[in-house]
Amino acid sequence: MPTSTDSESRHDETVDLDQRIDLYRMMVEARVFEEMAYRMFVAGLVKGTSHLAIGQEAIAAAFAAAMRPGDLTFCTYRGHIHTLLRGAPPSRLMAELFGRGSGICGGKGGSMHLTDASAGAMGSYAIVGAHMPIAVGAAWAAAERGTGQAAVCFFGDGTTNIGAFHEALNMAAVWSVPAVFVCENNQYMEYTPIRSVTAVKNPAADRAQSYGLDSVLVDGNDADEMFHTARSAVSKARAGGGPSLIEASTYRHGGHSRADPGTYRPDDEVADWKARDPIPAYRERLIAAGAEARRLEAIEAAVDRTMHEAVEEAKAAPVPPTSAIGTNLWADGGSAWRN
């Protein structure tokens, strides 16, 4: 666990209270969406598997707040919230988890494969590390075309030991692409603590030097610190300053996936991290900074309503027609492999 920092002192004075309240709203959206996904899984409506990001919301929210329309997000199978916070409609995300025709990918993606290209959410990737070189390519194209886009690629601590991580960071650095690589170090790859299988203490930050990048280690549960970090890295990318690698310490409150109760983690460790839940801590800080409790309560109520409506819409949505099986493999809309 990172040492506690005086986060208020790291608060960037150029960020006003309204922006911080918006960051709070995004974290609440992410939390409530995930809680609903969990309940719907238990109710049998979410099929297959789901990997929840409860406890890790500050990282996705900070980057979503720091990014502009047109910027590109690449995330992992623990990517419901990254997709949501870029602007994908919650009802269509929930419908995708339910396997409904109105799902964001028409029911062909599922929990681990959420994409909303219109929102710049360019996919959640279920093979560890695969999206890192893809993010390099998207950022490279942005630079070549002069679009001013930045690509942000989220990945877990487990990714730091797969080849694609190293190939991607080297190429990103050599080509100086406008990309930000964000390690969400939640301390466990799946069931195994990352420290027990990694030669260095900080699995991403300690490798940065190998690629000529700065070693950046931040408290991923501190929304202010995360936002400051995100804004700097995205601005640097956009300004032609090349890629960044950020390691954000955090913790998932639950297990790896729905099949995992997470019992391999010591009780006191779980309790410590839950005490550092990013959302209530940030709420207190905002109140101390002058936010009205009523305003935050109104946000919480509105988010709750939105997510309940999303669930009801998804429940009411029809399943995809079986004819969808053969559509959209090819650009012509079909899937023919012969004439």
Using rule CB under 8 A, residue 263 touches another protein = no
Tokens 């610190």 belong to which residue? 225
Which span (11-19, 110-118, 240-248, 261-269) binds another protein, by CB under 8 A? 110-118
Using rule CB under 8 A, residue 136 touches another protein = yes
Q: Which helix (H) or strand (E) holds 229?
A: helix 223-238
d(CA 58, CA 316): 31
* Contact residue for another protein among 27, 61, 72, 213 (CB under 8 A): 72
Residue burial 106-127, b: 16+ Cβ < 10 Å; e: rest: bbebbbbbbbbeebbbbbbbbe
Using rule CB under 8 A, residue 163 touches another protein = yes
* Contact residue for another protein among 125, 188, 211, 251 (CB under 8 A): 125
**Would you say 126 or 218 has its CB closer to another protein?**
126
Phi, psi dihedrals of residue 13, rounded to the nearest 5°: -65, -15
Q: Minimum CB separation from another protein for residue 324, in Å?
A: 8
Radius of gyration of the chain, Cα coordinates, nearest whole angstrom: 20
d(CA 249, CA 204): 11
**Would you say 2 or 137 has its CB closer to another protein?**
137
Partners of 151 in beta bridges: 72, 179
Using rule CB under 8 A, residue 240 touches another protein = no
Using rule CB under 8 A, residue 319 touches another protein = no
Tokens 């460790």 belong to which residue? 269
Report the Cα 16 to chain-centroid distance in Å: 24
Q: Minimum CB separation from another protein for residue 110, in Å?
A: 8
Q: Minimum CB separation from another protein for residue 103, in Å?
A: 8
Task: Tell me which residues touch another protein (CB under 8 A).
Answer: 72, 105-109, 113, 115-118, 122-123, 125, 127, 130-142, 144-145, 147, 149, 151, 163-164, 167-168, 170-171, 174, 324, 327-331, 333, 335-339
